A and B are shown apart, each in its own frame.
Chain A
Amino acid sequence: MNTNQSQFTRAMMDASIPVPEGLLDAQNRPAGRRFDVYRNNVAVSLTDAMHAAFPVIAKLLGKENMDGLSGLYLRAHPPSSPLMMFYGEHFPDFLAAMEQLSHLGYLPDVARLELALRRSYHAADSVPVGPEKLAQLSPDALMQTEVKFAPSMQVIASPWPIFDIWRYNTQDGAAKPDAVAQDVMITRPEFDPAPHLLPPGGAAFIVALQRGQNIGSAHEAALAKTPEFDLGATFTLLLQGGVILKLDTKG
């Protein structure tokens, strides 16, 4: 009896499917629970990977719920590459689609924040420009300037207080979250990514810049969404965070 890898993986991922018949023990008896070693290795290693990747989600849901969700997730979205550092990329959308979790509407965005932290951790190294580069520009030239950001910078816009939720669950003595919308920017000064709360409209401004708009039109885009958008405060954060690699003044 031959056993192909399709039969093997189907039975490995679904314990209700019988162990393939061509798998034996040393006495030529059916492999039985010896096959469970593989079922168990896959489930445990991928569940551990989810706990390591989403510690705040795991804390918010509790270990048992996180184990259960990880089991559902690994069957819905088995890893698509051997790079486990990126496993879980569909988890935010997976959480958003879970009806049982719809009363915890902030979970998907908190998961996005945790994914972004991991992406930042593994992003390419880069050297930021100093603040003097900005000081050299006249106000008019500044508005004509395009910005290139560090690959380790990540931005998440959310209608939920995701920065406060993240901080409350990772730092002792942090304030309880208030019911406010929060945009977050992740910077990586050397090797350790850190989330920062952006002023309202900050994410829209940065996303416009990432799309290649100059500072003037990104400013307008941010103001259109958020009339109280504070360009100076946002730019100070960008400079302090060391996320600007290049300022390119056109015209």
Chain B
Amino acid sequence: MLDTTFPQSDLPATAGVGYKPQHFSQILEQPGSVAWLEIHAENYMGDGGRPLAQLRRLSEQFPISVHGVGLSIGGEAPLDTDHLARLKQLIEWLNPASFSEHLAWSTHDAHFYNDLLPLPYTNDSLIRICDHIDQLQRTIGRQMLLENPSSYLAFEESTWSEPEFLTEIANRTGCGLLLDVNNVFVSASNLDFSPQGYIDAFALNRVGEIHLGGHDTDTDDHGAPLLIDSHGHAIADPVWALLNYTLERSGPKPVLVEWDNDVPDWPVLSDEANRAASALHKIPA
């Protein structure tokens, strides 16, 4: 079942950050411990101009991870072949070190909702997602990494746990996994499970990248905390602790700091990357 003909995701087991155009010059001049960069694929699908020129320049100095946010792999409808073609074109042009997408959907009835929406973990959705990942990996000619979502609610119809569901998808399609430990922390708090137990159940040998990000805190109808994956803050201390817990079990992995809203000045983001690099240094190679 495992198709090993696809080139595997190949990021260095060091710290990276999500690239923001306002940091362009400083990243080149003072990269600090930042050894690779991640971009959102959809922001680089124009025909030219500054975005592609900056990306070309950055790719001369850094391995790049292309992270899609719009393919809607978990959608009930077939994948958008126009969008698949755009991904293929970007990946052929850039030859990035990695491509990743989400266990989520964002398009329905030809409308794109600009958010990562949740899906039930059932045998039906499993088959559909595996078909979509097969189609994607055949189109781009390489392995993809699939990211665990942040959850705010559960589906009554789900019959799989999320780590088992992701493992099964990886086994069936040969895809790798992107483990977002902030998403694990958010989902564990919101759905009342142990984040360490989730990590223990996760196929860490399939992980090609780890994500970290900040979250917000709200409350639900019953006054319980409702954590929101906002990427608008520094990473919370318990999420750093969960990263350490993960790295102790997984060994060194590429670790990315995401900060997408209220983006700070470069020194602040660079400090977060230093902290991720320190966490990697602490574990035996």
Contacts and interface: CB of A to CB of B under 8 A. Distances in A.
A26 B154 contact: yes
B285 interface: no
11 contacts: A1-B157, A24-B155, A26-B193, A35-B153, A37-B228, A79-B111, A83-B42, A84-B114, A122-B46, A122-B51, A125-B53
A192 B155 CA distance: 47
A62 interface: no
Contact of B112 (A35, A37, A78, A125): A78
Contacts of B193: 26
A34 to B, nearest CB: 4
B93 to A, nearest CB: 13
A122 B52 CA distance: 9
A82 B221 CA distance: 32
Contacts of A2: 120, 156-157
Interface residues of A, number: 48
Interface residues of B, number: 53
B48 A23 contact: no
Interface stretch (A38-46, A51-59, A101-109, A203-211): A38-46
B47 interface: yes
Contact of B49 (A4, A12, A121): A121
Contacts of A191: 49-50, 53
B42 to A, nearest CB: 5
Contacts of B157: 1-3, 22
B65 interface: no
Query: Interface centre among B45, B86, B106, B110, by most A CB within 10 Å?
Result: B45
B69 interface: yes
B234 interface: no
Interface in A98-128: 121-125
A81 B153 contact: no
B220 interface: yes
A28 B152 CA distance: 13
A16 interface: no
Contact of A34 (B108, B111, B152, B155): B152
B64 interface: no
Contacts of A219: none
A41 to B, nearest CB: 4
Contacts of A28: 156
Contact of A25 (B46, B69, B220): B220
Interface of B: 42-43, 45-53, 69-72, 75-76, 80, 82-83, 86, 105-115, 117-120, 152-157, 190-193, 218, 220-222, 224, 226, 228
B110 A9 contact: no
A152 interface: yes
A239 B28 CA distance: 35
Interface string A59-81: 00000000000000000001111
Contacts of B156: 1-3, 21-24, 28
A152 B50 CA distance: 12
A211 B158 CA distance: 57
A34 B114 CA distance: 18
Nearest to B51: A122
A84 B192 CA distance: 35
Contacts of B220: 25, 32-34
